[in-house]
Amino acid sequence: MQFPQNLKEKLDIRKTQNAFRSLSRSNKLIDFASNDYLGFSSSQAIFNATHHYLITHNTIHNGATGSRLLTGNHNLYYETEHFIAIFHQSETALIYNSGYDANIGFFSSVPQKNDFILFDELSHASIRDGILMSNAKSYRFQHNDFEDLERLIQFCKKNKTSETTNIYVVTESVFSMDGDTPNLAKLVTICEKNHCFLVVDEAHALGVFGNSGEGLVQDLNLQDKIFARLITFGKSLGCHGAAILGSQDLKDYLVNFSRSFIYSTGLSPHSVATIFTAYQYLEKNTGEVQQLKSNINIFNQQKTILSLKPLFVRSKSAIQSAIIPGNEKVKSIAKIIQENGFDVKAILSPTVPKGQERLRFCLHSYNSEKEIIGVLNLLNKLKM
């Protein structure tokens, strides 16, 4: 079968730039790579609770059978969305099949033709792809630079074409590649002053911040000041799916106009039951959250002891990134670390900008202090 020559050339360029991606098999290395921050993906307690819930509620179905607007809106959705909304102190929650689907569905439908979207330049690909599908005008502001954001807000105000024009400001509470966080309290003040709608992606904050892992927004008690929050279940909850938190009007709007919600087969009852039981476990068992916070502190302390702090992006989250420019160099260091038993991934350009290639360490509640010290001691020997 012939393959288009222009596509083959693009693959060849990736290979020559040491940027070619391929799927790897799972391994038995010490995990410093996955987003399973609390170890929920392999929790036998959550697995058993999910099975018990399905059996006792006589829910023995392998699939949803259709979109939620047709036949796929099984009763589990109501109970789970209600629980999520209460847990996150939100009026409503609307479950999507994935975080990507949620961001695509939100940004392609909510901002309108005369509106503006101002987004942090390091926003996740799913946010950017959703924005590309929107009819609104969009501008990116420099990473966590609120002076640049305010400049753009004033520009948008001067160029309004309608009295109904809205400005949406978009950020993440924990950025997926850097692991750093914006000053959300200051950002809320800016948005309130300028009558902007603030949207926060909390994918990497759920399970990490807050006494029960509620996320950074609730940890700062800002939940009533955010227009929309996105949370995903494939990180700390160890399962699959996502939800958008907001008002009843927002939920009603998304059900009517969000195409990735309307035209997708719903999650299976088993998937939704896993989300429900994982949230129940998170609420009742805070030990994993506290252990994760302790491990983050140990990692940061060890960076200081080994004089590695200048190598890392400043972060108090579970994502710790050591900048090692050059695809070839960072790949070679990652390979040596993996050969020594630690699963640490190299993040290459073009996933991150050229010159910002990095080793991305993901911390977990189940990493031991010995493992954390061991992997950083190894990095210290290899960094030059």
Q: What is the average pLDDT across 76-90?
A: 97
User: What pLDDT score was predicted for residue 384?
Assistant: 57
Q: Which long-range contacts (CB under 8 A, 24 or more apart) does 140-144 make?
A: 143/175, 143/178, 144/120, 144/180, 144/182, 144/183
Confidence of residue 1 (pLDDT cuts 50, 70, 90): confident
Mean pLDDT of the chain: 95
> How many other C-beta atoms are found inside a 10 Å radius of the C-beta of residue 370?
9
In the chain, what percentage of residues exceed pLDDT 90?
Answer: 91
The single residue listed with the structure tokens 């805070």 is 286
What's phi and psi for 100, nearest 5 deg? -60, -45
Contacts of 327-334 with CB under 8 Å at 24 or more apart are: 327/17, 327/18, 327/19, 327/357, 328/18, 329/357, 330/357, 330/358, 330/359, 331/18, 333/359, 333/379, 333/382, 333/383, 334/359
Tokens read off for 136: 């609104």
pTM of the model: 0.94
Instruction: Report CA-CA distances (Å) from 157 to 110, 148, 226, 232, 290.
Output: 19, 14, 20, 33, 44
What pLDDT does 383 receive? 73
SS3 assignment, position 58: coil
Alpha helices, H only, 170-286: 184-193, 216-219, 248-257, 259-262, 269-284
Give 375's pLDDT tier (boundaries 50, 70, 90). Answer: very high
Nearest alpha-carbon partner for 84 in 67, 96, 74: 96
From 6-20, 36-50, 104-118, 299-313, the region with the lowest mean pLDDT: 6-20
Q: Which residues pair with 244 in a beta bridge?
A: 94, 230
Helix (H/G/I), strand (E/B), else coil: 312 = strand
Q: What is the pLDDT of residue 136?
A: 97
Residue from 129, 352, 348 nearest 119 by CA: 129
Q: Find the radius of gyration of the CA atoms of the chain.
A: 22
Tokens found for residue 242: 């996502």
∠ CA 32-340-367, nearest 5°, is: 30
Q: What's the rounded Cα separation, in Å, for the pair 323 and 343?
A: 17
Task: For residue range 321-366, list pLDDT tens digits in order.
Answer: 999 999 999 999 999 999 999 999 999 998 899 999 999 999 999 9
Q: Is residue 272 predicted with pLDDT exceeding 80?
A: yes
pLDDT digits (tens, 9 = 90+) for 18-36: 888 888 777 889 999 999 9
**Each residue's pLDDT tens digit, 175-211:** 999 999 999 999 999 999 999 999 999 999 999 999 9
